[in-house]
Amino acid sequence: MDLCDKKGIVHSDMRKIPKRAHAYIDGFEVEQFLDDEGNVCKQKIKFKLSSSAAVQALAMRHKGLIDQTLNVNLNKGLNWDSVPIAPTQDDNIIEGKVVREQEDEH
């Protein structure tokens, strides 16, 4: 495994992890324990691995296997009368609704 050396011990030096492993490491947390004199006597490293689906999608995107074009068609008609009008600070919402309902009746 890329996170361990040949003896199976997890690398304590993050620089020794091969670059290919960077793609599937989503993050890490290092916790250090100090002795009575304030020196680091023990260290715990927790790796957060990426999900395999995310890694596969990233690899497919990198290889150009996923079409990332976005097709947007703005030629659809829009009924502007059905779009709600946002009130301003000067508008009285209740009065505006009553006036609109009266206009609709005529």
In this prediction the pTM is 0.39
Structure tokens at 19: 């670059």
10-14, 32-36, 70-74, 97-101 — most confident range: 32-36
The H or E element containing residue 104 is helix 93-105
Sign of the CA dihedral running 32, 36, 41, 42: negative
Confidence of residue 101 (pLDDT cuts 50, 70, 90): low
3-state secondary structure of 34: strand
